[in-house]
Structure 1
Amino acid sequence: MSVARALTTLSIRRGERELVAPARPTPYEFKVLSDIDDQEVLRFYRSGAFFYRGDASKSGIDPAKVIKSAISEALVHYYPLAGRFRELQPTRKLVVECTGEGVVFVEADADVRMDDFGDSLAPPVPCYDELLPEPECATAVVVDRPLLFVQVTRLRCGGFVFGFQICHCIADGQGIVQFLTALTEFARGVPDAPTVRPVWQRELLTASWPPAITHDHAEYAPLPDPGKDVVSSSDAFSQHTFFFGHREIEALRSQAPPALRSAASRFDLIGAFMWRCRAAALRYEPDELVRLHMFVNGRVRNRSRHRLPRGYYGNSFAFAAACAPAGQLCRRPLGEALRLLLEAKARAEQEGYVQSVAGFNAARRRPAFPKARTYLISDMTQAGMLGVDFGWGRPVYGGPATIILATFHLEGRNEAGEVGVIVPTRLPVLALERLKVEVAKGLTVTAGPTATEPADNSKSALVPAHAIAKL
């Protein structure tokens, strides 16, 4: 699937930056982040963009004013977002000082229509640097700064773009959607909004002392020779969006061993497949270990006494990690990559795993997140992004504005209008061209010998993720 980029430049007229405070007085207090929130890797601002068409019934109604008022009301309930992060020394532990100062809001106008953005919106969205209120960056200073930045850009056709950046330490993907849903309820005048009341309770994912680490966490261990990687920030990068509809999913499922076909979701199949294709396209040395990292949602997976309450909007995920030598990963059938992925998820879904991650982070003082030879993926097809409706209907596109650290699986359509999963991908130019070839080749494979377990004993060369730390 090729993403149309009809618009390459955009002239924006921005108004003055304003601070939008809660509509009514809120408590002044200090709130401590959990040990899942307070990870070094989350100290950045996660961006999103929502594109809306004009609505004749909204003629004369300014979306910027509607949304600005909704933010002020929502901050009464989500008042920590109106505060500022402070660091406790010497540990650098983050806490929120609930000052009620507010969040940054910008009104803007663009002399373009929605159709000018093209038919197939996907991250990075066209002209995102003009549609977001702050420069986009993988790392950022988060202390003593607003936690949320919003820009509403009105379009000539009556539509608008809602762009935002929110510090990842304050909320994860599901928490962000929960907050955005509250905004839309106030914008639409829903009685008794927000219908889902926000819950702080970060102590549920705060480590005891001494920290209890009940599981292995090799997902935080660097691979051997971490400085040796084939991808560098100095490379020239390119983007492409891959589409997986019914035909593509069935082609992948046909390659899975019968025992795994019913257990594997679309996300599992696509994730394992793209991991293999990416490793081949990047041409790693056969003996180099390559890793797959996945977000596992603690709200869904935590069981019994560890279940988080409805309305919890903090970070509650763990990273599931699979690992294999690049040569083995690429040479063996898709079923092997799928098996490694499913085993990694099963480990991260064990009861108490997220709490163990909290203990690990507290004990290690927020260890660095390994990135070398690691493919990080996140399933956002169930996040509810396309349900974020301010009163102008469902967005044409709603989701991440850019590609920085993770590769997102998103709801999308191909040129024929078929609904499926889109996988926006960013790689060095030559590697991306090789990836297109690998994906096309892999999707033409039919069920046969590759769908069975291999006859040789080379499975032993695959490295379980929990063994990385011992290498």
Structure 2
Amino acid sequence: MSAVVSKSSPVVVAGQSEPATPASIINLSSFDNCFVPFPTAALLLFDQPVDDTIETIKKALSHALVHYHPMAGRLATGADGELHIACTGEGASFVAASATCSLDELATTSPLLLRDLTLRYPGEYCGLSDALLLIQVTEFSCGGFAVGVTWNHLIADGVGMAQFLQAIGELARGMPAPSVVPVRFEGSLPCLPQPMVTWLRSQMRIETDEMASLDVTISSSLISRVKAECGDCTTFEAVAAMLWRCRTRATMSDSEAPALLVFLSNVREVVGAKDGFYGNCLTMQFVQATSSTVAKSDIKDLVKLIRLAKEKIPDLYKNVGSSDEQQQVPPSYNILTISSWRNLGFDAVDFESGKPARVMWQGEKTVALFCYLCPPCKGKYGLNVISLCVKPEHADAFLGELAALDI
């Protein structure tokens, strides 16, 4: 008999002591407005139980929403037609669930069961009446549990959501308040020019083609070897270069067509954001070459291109006008977007039984062709890559290219 996940009906969890006052308004920053209201989901798997897991996390969530009250609000449209956050206190959507398998059995069950561990919005984008935050806690037969969090990207980026989940964990462990004071409105952030915001938003589109869902591990030995060959090279640069070349080789149909690598970077330090800021503070950086160049290059040469792009990030806020590079966008399937969740803080979340055994990105359709770099599973070494970046007919070739690197 196959494993199943049984879910309770959703309930609304609001802040424990939110005052019944007229809703305050939080304007979205230009960094927020670089995104469209699309859902993002993270799944944290814990192999050790918590006493009364569901009620403990539910209560801690309610407490956390007092400190993170915008999370309990809704999107609204102002008189000027612009979106903002209305702090209505309506709350987050919460579902309790149970699975008939153990965590160890997840790897051998249907991928559909893994999808059942997070909640989804009814549409491809988040509507004005939708909760900004959906949380599901699933208990497994072994005593372990999963916390799936789905959120409207306009409310927070990955750093912000990891901070919020860490706060829930601290409150679940009995702390009177989160150790980090949350900041949602950040008036000191630079205001990005409207042409730049508009252009970046135009790149946020739901993929209509079916993409293969892949979950692979890049071994620590391969990463170490590539880093040694490249000299002074970060893990991100090494893995991004490997993925870029392998995907280009697997999908290339025109050697002279552009192959664009896009990577997301947290720029809180660059722009001087306040400690505890949990709104969006990301930039997208681009590295472009022809498909043949990417396919034939040594990994170390691609690392150099990626490093040069990273070094230019501080300059984005000195010369932020529209440019020819922004206007020359190749077809979507020629673009690979990489987001690293290695250092965001998801792997530091602790609800009282220790840190997660695994952190995963969850997605079906996405606004770009993504590879998410996640921390390795507990007890393993390397880097977990979860992706929707190739069509099914290119999946075997992509995996074959990755395997060839590790010989």
Verify same fold: TM over 0.5: yes
Q: Equivalent of 1:432, from 389, 395, 401?
A: 395
CA pair 233-29 structure 1, distance change in 2 beyond 3 A: closer
Question: SS at 2:256's partner residue?
Answer: coil
Within a 5 Å distance, the mapping from 1:169-248 to structure 2 comes to: 169-191=154-176, 193-205=177-189, 207=191, 211=193, 220=200, 233-235=208-210, 237-245=212-220, 247-248=221-222
CA gap of 1:326–1:162, structure 2 versus 1, over 3 A, is same
Report the counterpart of residue 100 of structure 1 in structure 2: 89
Decide whether the 8 Å contact of 2:260 with 2:335 is kept in 1. yes
Change (3 A) 1:390 1:299: same
What does 1:334-413 align with in structure 2 at a 5 Å threshold? 334-350=299-315, 352=317, 371-402=332-363, 404=366, 405=368, 406-413=370-377
2:381 to 419, 428, 434: 419
Do 1:125 and 1:401's aligned partners in 2 also have CA atoms closer than 8 Å? no
Partner of 1:287, secondary structure, is: coil
* Deviations, residues 80-102 of structure 1 (Å, cap 9, x unaligned): 11111012355x42111111111
In the other structure, the counterpart of 1:44 is: 38
Q: Which residue of 1 aligns with 2:10?
A: 17
Residue 418 of structure 1, CA deviation: 4.0
Q: What is the CA distance between 1:390 and its match in structure 2?
A: 0.6
SS in 1 for 2:217: strand
Q: Distance in 1 between matches of 2:114 and 2:392?
A: 21
1:299 aligns with 2:256: no
* TM-score, scaled relative to structure 2: 0.86
* Deviation at residue 235 of structure 1 after TM alignment: 4.4
Number of aligned pairs? 394
Secondary structure of 1:65's aligned partner:
helix
Where does structure 1 lack aligned partners over 5 or more consecutive residues?
1-6, 224-231, 445-471
Q: CA deviation at 1:220?
A: 4.6
Change (3 A) 1:337 1:222: farther
Partner SS, residue 277 of structure 1? helix
State the distance in 1 between where 2:358 and 2:256 align.
41
Structure 1 vs Structure 2 CA RMSD: 3.2
Residue 310 of structure 1 and its aligned partner are, at CA, apart by: 0.4
TM-score by length of structure 1 reads 0.75
Matching residue's letter, 2:53 = P
Name structure 2 gaps, 5 residues minimum. none
- Note the alpha carbon deviations across 1:217-261, whole angstroms, 9 max, x for none: 9985999xxxxxxxx84446352413231x2023323543xxxx2
Q: Determine the structure 1 residue equivalent to 2:227.
A: 253
Superposed displacement of residue 207, structure 1:
2.5
SS at match of 1:133: coil
Distance 2:98 2:142 in 1: 11
